[in-house]
Amino acid sequence: MFTTQSRVEELLSEQYIQTEVKTYLDTQVNLLDEIYERICQWLIDYRTGVYGKTYTSKDERLAEVQKHVDDLPRYVLYSVCLLGKTTLQATATKLGLYIHEDILTAAKSGSEILAVCDGLGYEIIRPKAFSGNTFEIQPLISIPADIKQALNLSLFLPPMVSRPNAWTTKSNGGYDLTHNYAILGDRYNKHDNPINLHVLNLLQDVSYRLDSTITKEDDVLDLDSIDPKSREQAQANFNQALQENRYVYTEMGDKPFHFVFQYDKRGRIYSKGYHINIQGNSYRKAMLKFAEAEKLTEEGWKWLKIDLANHYGLDKSTWQERLDFINENIDSMLTNPDEWISKADEPLLFKSALNSYQMSLITGTSDQIVRLDATCSGPQLMSVVMRDEEAMARLNVLGDSCRNDFYTLVAQEVYNRTKDSSLWGTNPNFKEIRSNIKRAIMTTYYNSTCKPEEYFGKDTKELQVYYEVLDEFTTGARKLQKTINDLWDNSRLVYQWTLPDSHTAYCPVITTKTSRIEIKEMKGGTAVMNFIHSINQGGEEEKRSLCPNIVHSLDAYVCRRVITILADKGIAVSPIHDSFGVSPNNCEALRKAYREVLAELYREDIINNILTEIDPTAKLDRPDYKLKTSMAVKNNLNGYYIC
């Protein structure tokens, strides 16, 4: 099937599948007629007062329903067949969006139509009183397996087997027949300000292929991480996903393909797709190779070994320790791969890297994607723009004598200051302590207090010490965090700022709201559904969003700059936010580009420009620029800023 891109999109497009479903549903003549009759009778009954007093907003909604009444029977069954067993809210919203643009309006009309037609191809399962459950839709008809599979695949199109259309506007790039917008999210994220379309096009030019040694095996579901009450359904969903995976991987075979890329509102980059995706789990990362192999240089062989060591679990060791480990054990790894794979921290990634290494010994070339990740990216970039040299050293921007692990440094200091705490137990496990503190740190700089309080408790001495250590170890970053938080204005609906590449970060203030939908048409009497949806509304509750949005816009800018610098040298990049994948031959070029951008962030007034664009009165106290420090960043050849 995956012979030409147009054919792929045609067969998996919603329009084509709707036609297939329509053809199938047309065999259900009596069912469609009954649905039509019920909807028509409902419209009459409403106007004649059967459901009580009429009111203007519902009059207007049902006037729109009337315009679509001929198509609604198919829309009803199509929505039910597409989503399968799910909540009334989900199916009602899907159905209602065929009629209305506003999501709350859509949910109201959709839920009423479904209530009116209950029993015709599906049934609504009413929750028991006080159970905390919600209304569910249970389909009573099934569609042929091949159409069902196409329906599921249409939700996440595979990568393109031809080069994606270049973005020249926000709405004309990517797939051939399926149109997307260059910015992810709902209508609130759309704007008329400039964004960096050039980088999206650079990424779409990069071609990939699948590693059959990975895709021939199925992904694995970790049931232990799932609530026991949800495991049965999770396993059923996973089994369905495995069938779809197998279909996509078989059809894709060894063909080269390209991803379609989009931005989020901050400027972070995302590849489209589910079954094959750069930003997927370890299984999906391990299956990806560059389509074009490169003849290995001496540098390339070195970085293939470091890549192996990283996936095995030595990513916190020095460069030399990693190389020595692989040099000492590579023969055993190649002779007894299963033994080594089973002991690796990342078994699938290690397996893929080992297979690539073995193939390189035969061909002298490599298609491996070697990924180097920024060390504690958020605090790292915040410390650089704040010119906090002590923190820059702790976060590996300055100095190369050792590979600092910021999470370990903080965990050790917190533990040393609270050794007598009962939190650690009688036999402290430092690996576990570090793991828990890492989870806390990863959210703290983005204004979340949940993880720290979950581990240390609320208003405890240990929590206070944790924050004291962060304030001491990353003084600049914590000061920046407070400064950004102080810029919040409860009345504002949108915050926007411009990055140095003229890309606009456009962040509407989005609040989650629960609206009460009364469904008078429900069997058994009037029912109430709590509908959770997003609205563009300011307020104190969303205050914490501004800091992470600004910091993520900075790491997004770093990503775009690195991609551009390397593209000018003919080097392909496979990015995941603060993780950069390149050919092993190009790891040093990647590291140099990253250093150059860090030096730029240190040198320029980028953060001041962002803050004053948000609020012209914003003031940020930070040290003066030092040429010596800037050069130290640029010349830190052996540092562990990305490793």
Mean pLDDT computed over 166-185 = 93
Instruction: Decide which of 500 and 531 is more confident.
Output: 500
pLDDT digits (tens, 9 = 90+) for 337-379: 999 999 999 999 999 999 999 999 999 999 999 999 999 999 9
Task: Please tell me whether residues 138 and 72 are part of one structural domain.
Answer: yes
Q: Is residue 161 part of a domain?
A: no
Task: Please tell me whether residues 210 and 225 are part of one structural domain.
Answer: yes
Its sign, for the CA torsion 528, 531, 536, 540, is: positive
Task: Please tell me whether residues 300 and 284 are part of one structural domain.
Answer: no
Instruction: Decide which of 292 and 524 is more confident.
Output: 292
Distance CA 520, CA 51 (A): 7
Task: Please tell me whether residues 282 and 300 are part of one structural domain.
Answer: no
**pLDDT interval class at 23 (50, 70, 90):** confident
Q: Could you tell me which residues are beta bridge partners of residue 258?
A: 160
Q: Among 247, 269, 290, which residue terminates a domain?
A: 290
Q: Is residue 138 part of a domain?
A: yes
Q: What is the pLDDT of residue 232?
A: 85
Task: Please tell me whether residues 286 and 298 are part of one structural domain.
Answer: no
**pLDDT interval class at 292 (50, 70, 90):** very high
Query: C-alpha dihedral over 390, 395, 396, 402, to 10 degrees?
Result: 90
Q: Using the predicted structure, report yes or no on whether residue 131 has a pLDDT greater than 70.
A: no
Instruction: Decide which of 589 and 423 is more confident.
Output: 589
Expressed as residue numbers, the domain containing 330 is 294-366
Start-to-end Cα distance in the chain: 40
318 burial level (CB within 10 Å; 0-12, 13-18, 19+)? middle
SS3 content of the chain, % helix, strand, coil (to 5): 55, 10, 35
Q: What is the pLDDT of residue 132?
A: 67
Pairing between β-strand 269-271 and β-strand 494-498 as defined by DSSP bridges? unpaired
Task: Please tell me whether residues 482 and 625 are part of one structural domain.
Answer: yes
Task: Please tell me whether residues 38 and 135 are part of one structural domain.
Answer: yes
Longest dimension (CA), the chain: 85
317: domain CATH number is 1.10.287.280
Contact criterion met (CB below 8 Å) for 24 and 147: yes
Q: Among 346, 366, 386, which residue terminates a domain?
A: 366
Task: Please tell me whether residues 483 and 619 are part of one structural domain.
Answer: yes
Mean pLDDT computed over 307-323 = 97
Q: What is the pLDDT of residue 143?
A: 80
**pLDDT interval class at 1 (50, 70, 90):** low
Distance CA 643, CA 639 (A): 8
pLDDT digits (tens, 9 = 90+) for 582-641: 999 999 999 999 999 999 999 999 999 999 999 999 999 999 999 999 999 999 999 999
Task: Please tell me whether residues 238 and 265 are part of one structural domain.
Answer: yes
Q: What is the pLDDT of residue 590?
A: 99
Count: domains in the chain: 4
Q: What is the pLDDT of residue 552?
A: 98
pLDDT digits (tens, 9 = 90+) for 232-259: 888 988 888 898 899 899 989 999 999 9
Task: Please tell me whether residues 472 and 581 are part of one structural domain.
Answer: yes
Side-chain half-sphere CA neighbours of 491 within 13 A: 0
Instruction: Decide which of 218 and 150 is more confident.
Output: 218
Q: What is the pLDDT of residue 83?
A: 87
Task: Please tell me whether residues 194 and 206 are part of one structural domain.
Answer: yes
CA 133 → CA 128, 309, 513, 531, distances in Å? Answer: 7, 48, 18, 13
Q: Using the predicted structure, report yes or no on whether residue 126 has a pLDDT greater than 70.
A: yes
Distance CA 542, CA 537 (A): 9
Distance CA 485, CA 534 (A): 22
Q: Using the predicted structure, report yes or no on whether residue 130 has a pLDDT greater than 70.
A: no
Q: What is the pLDDT of residue 511?
A: 86
Q: What is the pLDDT of residue 555?
A: 98
Average confidence score pLDDT of the chain: 93
